[in-house]
Amino acid sequence: MKAKLLTILFLLLTFILNAQQILLLDRFNGNKIVNDSTITVFSSEADIPDLTQYFTMKNNTDQKLAVFLRKTVNIYADSTSDYYCFGIRCWPGDDSTNIADTIPPGGEDYTFASHVTHKRRFDLPQPMLPPGLSSVTYTVYDKTTFPEPVEATVTVIYDHSGLGVDEAGKQGSGEAGKLALVYPNPASDWITVETGVNKPGKYTLLLYSSLGIQVQNSFVQFQDNQLKIPVSRFAPGFYYGRIVSEQGSAADFRFQVAR
């Protein structure tokens, strides 16, 4: 019985994937299909301000596709700019393309790459930037071949919150760019955040969903170097947080809500 159920599920999944007329594949992750999903690109190196995601686009139909791209910015970190390369050129700052990228029936195209650069945009020397999160949703689509539009969408989270921090180390001193310790993780009701903060004062708590949508912006105070945050009202999924002091230093953390 179990074997039959697994076979049915496999056939159903195969049917769904075959029904998708444009496939977006994550080239960083073995060409995993990422239609309608969210990808996080992380940087823990201070000398790598540019985060890049490479995609393969596959025409899963028996007709030639003339593919365009449009982007929707969900959130930008301070002093962040973006561009993407698509088809025969790169598009800095453009929200959509006006030149079709042709993909033959059953063919693949490797020309879609998205970039976000986190740096101060002046020539004068500036203090170290507070890192942050940016979120952009990309939609590739063909509007001419079929009676109904053919499209595929993916959201990319560009996470600069670990600049200068070892990604494997989940705690820091509460300075700008440090990662805080979070437990339990996943959580259902409450999370406890430790940042090494031991000074009284007013702190700002910012929470974002995996799409970069702000879900909380409030003032908080630490007790015994800990901050307890209720999360039962949040839908299951991944979230990003930032705790900012009155002086502007910040600690960043990530957590998952599960039921």
8: DSSP letter: H
In a domain, 173, yes or no: no
Tokens of 226: 């800990």
Q: What is the pLDDT of residue 104?
A: 93
Tell me, what's the pLDDT at 43?
64
Structure confidence at residue 39 (pLDDT):
85
- My answer on whether 74 and 134 are in the same domain is yes
Point out which residues pair with 210 in neighbouring strands: none
pLDDT less than 70: residues of the chain: 1-19, 43-49, 119-131, 145-148, 161-179, 196-200, 210-212, 247-250
Res 144: pLDDT: 74
- Does 183 lie in the same domain as 152? no
Residue 241 is part of which domain span? 178-257
State the greatest distance between any 2 C-alpha atoms of the chain, in Å, as a whole number.
69
pLDDT one-digit tens code per residue, 103-130: 999 999 999 999 888 765 544 444 445 5
- 53, 54, 60, 63: CA torsion to nearest 10: 110
CATH number at residue 231: 2.60.40.1220
Into how many domains does the chain fold?
2
Q: How many helices and strands, by DSSP H and E, does the chain display?
A: 1, 19
Q: What is the pLDDT of residue 29?
A: 78
Q: List, in sequence order, every residue forming a beta bridge with 65; answer none if it has no partner.
A: 103
Q: Does one domain contain both 154 and 184?
A: no
Shared-domain flag, residues 25 and 136: yes
Domain edge (last residue) among 108, 127, 159: 159
Is the separation of the CB atoms in 191 and 254 below 8 Å? Answer: no
Return the DSSP state at 176: T
Q: What's the confidence (pLDDT) of residue 81?
A: 81
| DSSP-derived 3-state class of residue 107 | coil
Q: What is the DSSP string of 226-244?
A: EEEEE-TTSPSEEEEEEEE
Residues 43 and 162: beta-carbon distance below 8 Å: yes
Same domain, residue pair 128 and 253: no
* 81 found inside a domain: yes
d(C-alpha 169, C-alpha 184), whole Å: 16
Instruction: Please report whether residue 249 resides in a domain.
Output: yes
Q: What's the confidence (pLDDT) of residue 152?
A: 93
3-state class (DSSP) for residue 41: strand
pLDDT value, residue 161 = 63
Verify that 70 and 116 share a domain, yes or no.
yes
Q: What tens digit of pLDDT does each residue of 186-231 get?
A: 899 999 988 766 666 778 888 877 666 778 888 888 877 788 999 9
* CATH classification at residue 116: 2.60.40.10
Asked whether residue 4 is domain-assigned, the answer is no
Report d(CA 252, CA 181) in Å as an integer: 9
At 103 the pLDDT is: 93
